[in-house]
Structure 1
Amino acid sequence: MQPPHVDPNAIRSKRNWRAQLTAARATLTDDAREAANRSLTVHVAALAVASDPAATIAAYAPAGNEPGSWQLLDTLAAGGAQVLLPVVASGDATALSWAIYRTRDDVAVGRYGICEPTGPRLPPDAIADASLILIPALATDHHGIRLGRGAGYYDRSLPMASGLLVTLHYDHEFVPGPLPMDAHDIPVHATITPELGLQRLPLGNSAA
């Protein structure tokens, strides 16, 4: 399938990047998204941490056409790791709280239509226990700069993380860049796409 068109030369701001990337996602067919998500599940499951019963993994429940799937979350939970999903509090943007994901039967729709576990809430610093943090994003560039949706929840949460920061993307969303970067933006350590699998960042730095 021909990837959706995103013209990096025509983009100068985060707003323009978000508009083009959101429009490109909307052109993906259901079959294309399902195939991409099956591949992403395979790549994430191949990480050693995914089968470590002593591990904690912070992940997310995909909303709309975001890459990621319930199959991925179920695979991680079946591997024995403790899987945390974010909980968005009411009011102004603040650091995310967390809750343990067990099955799809134990989730409910929360703020912004995002599914959240119904169990006890864990404080924002629970992310510090995660050795792997899977992060939603509209794009990541070859330097590790992540472009989110702009609400700021992850900007407030990631400073508390100590594990491997990994974004999940459709292939066309891993871009050479540079993406616009603000002082509070924290580069990620890697990205995973359906065709490329795990890409350590910055690209070309094997020690990253």
Structure 2
Amino acid sequence: MHEMTDDPRTTDKAQLRARLLAARDAMSPFILSQAIGELAVWMYSLPVEIGEGDTVAAYVATRREPGGTAMLDALVDRGVRVLLPIVPEGPPQRLQWGVYCGERSLEEGRWNLLEPQGIRLDPDTLVQAALILVPAVAVDRRGVRLGRGAGYYDRTLEGIPGQVVAVVHDGEVVDHDLPEEPTDVRVQWILTPSGGFEPVRDDT
């Protein structure tokens, strides 16, 4: 049996995550509502060419995450097919997907997260998405994303060809480099309510 040792990178990430999530909890309802509206407007100015009937993957915001169903409805208004994640049972693994058909099509799934009803689509369905909007607690200018720590998205995004966008609040883009693990998957774009879509720095 191996003894666990403290990894400073893990500690730094946990401390940063806790600080940023506390700031979200303190966010006023007005600021949050404003952010939701601004992000919905940005869905009409996507950074890649998306036509009617094309697929975009997104998420249902929870716990003061930026986004909300207004962002999803804006995509549907454009005639886009919107995929939303479904958390499978068992340990963290690749996410399954379902098609968004309006707020009333959502129901509580695992951990009380809202998920689309209907057919569960295989994780490989994500290859159909030209653009993938993912939640993040923070993101740095290189595209290194800080999530909630379970690794669902890193597992899911590995090898996926679509352009990935980390959606964060204005104060959650950090100028210093976040700790990065070998299994982390970088994003290509950052989306904030006030700044819109910004490409990450090419730091390969």
Contact 1:45 1:51 in 2 (8 A): no
Partner of 1:131, secondary structure, is strand
Inter-CA distance 50–86: structure 2 relative to 1 (3 Å threshold): farther
Identify the residue that residue 136 of structure 1 maps to in structure 2.
135
Name stretches of at least 5 consecutive residues in structure 2 with no aligned partner: 1-9
Alignment root-mean-square deviation, CA: 1.9
Cα distance, 1:48 vs. partner? 6.3
Amino acid at match of 1:72: M
Distance 1:139 1:198, change over 3 A: same
Q: Secondary structure at the match of 2:43?
A: helix
CA distance in 2, matches of 1:160, 1:57: 17
The one-letter code sitting in structure 1 at the alignment partner of 2:134 is I
TM-score, length basis structure 1: 0.89
Residue 23 of structure 1 deviates from its aligned partner by: 0.7
In 2, the alpha carbon distance for the partners of 1:79 and 1:159 equals: 28
CA distance in 1 between partners of 2:51 and 2:44 (Å): 11
Give distance in 2, aligned partners of 1:105 and 1:12: 40
Q: Percent identity?
A: 38
The Cα shift of 1:45 comes to: 2.1
Unaligned 5+ segments in structure 1 are 1-10
What one-letter code is carried by the residue in structure 1 that aligns with 2:110?
R
Q: Which amino acid aligns with 2:107?
A: A
Distance 1:77 1:89, change over 3 A: same
Once the two structures are TM-superposed, the CA of residue 54 in structure 1 deviates from its matched residue by 3.0
Q: Note the C-alpha offset of 1:51.
A: 5.6
User: 1:81: Cα distance to partner?
Assistant: 1.0
Task: Determine if the alignment matches structure 1 residue 98 to structure 2 residue 97.
Answer: yes
Number of residue-to-residue matches in the alignment: 195
Structure-1 residue corresponding to 2:84: 85
Q: 2:57 touches 2:133 (CA, 8 Å); kept in 1?
A: yes
Aligned to 1:189: 188
* Cα displacement (A) at 1:55: 1.2
Q: Name the amino acid aligned to 1:175.
A: V
Q: What is the aligned partner in structure 1 of residue 70 from structure 2?
A: 71
Give the aligned residue type for 1:174: V
How far 1:36 sits from its partner (Å)?
A: 1.0
Q: Deviations over 1:159-195 (max 9, x none)?
A: 1421110011111001112111100011100101112
- Corresponding residue for residue 57 of structure 1: 56
Q: Residues 140 and 178 of structure 2 are in contact (CA less than 8 Å); yes or no, is this contact kept in structure 1?
A: yes
SS in 2 for 1:13: helix
Quote the Cα distance in structure 1 between the aligned partners of 2:34 and 2:13: 28
1:179 aligns with 2:152: no
1:5 match = none
